[in-house]
Amino acid sequence: MARITDEMAQFIENERLCFVATVSPENAPNISPKGSLMRSGDSSIAFADIRSPDTVANLESNPAVEVSVISPIVRRGYLFAGRGRVVREDPEFDDMVARFREMGIKSPIGTVVIIDVDRVEETMSPLYDLGYTEDQIRETWKKHYFS
């Protein structure tokens, strides 16, 4: 299992938006945005199932999952790959729902998905390969988004 570092956990907390990729029983890809991702353990991350019937159904059929968290401003982030498990009404579910409430999630939570992470990759824009600094990239995208 891959370790979720404090730096990764802080990045997830700061960015909040991620994209979860699963595969249906018919082998159709599914990508779903999530705003509730958090580190749930040393080697796991979790999100709340708020409006995710396809994602949950896919994970119950095939637990393979990838989660991409990218800062649109600095164009870097992480890809987490592993196996997702759907948690319903048990002490683990109750504990995770309490944690989601602490982070400000107000919507009803149907289930919780916990992902045991096998692999983490840092992802970044090709601009870094060309020698651009994070500050240069940040300024460019701040102008784009906030002008």
The structural domains of the chain, with segments of one domain joined by +, span 6-146
What length is written for the chain? 147
What is the amino acid identity at position 102? E
pLDDT in tens, 84-106: 999 998 899 999 999 999 999 99
% of the chain residues with pLDDT over 70: 100
**Average pLDDT score, the chain:** 97
Q: What is the DSSP secondary structure assignment for residue 83, as one 8-state letter?
A: E
Which of the four pLDDT bands, split at 50, 70 and 90, describes residue 81?
very high
Which of the four pLDDT bands, split at 50, 70 and 90, describes residue 147?
confident
The CATH number of the structural domain formed by 6-146 is 2.30.110.10
pLDDT beyond 90 at 133: yes
Q: Where does residue 29 rank: exposed (0-12), middle (13-18), buried (19+ CB within 10 A)? A: exposed
Does the pTM of the predicted model rise above 0.85? yes
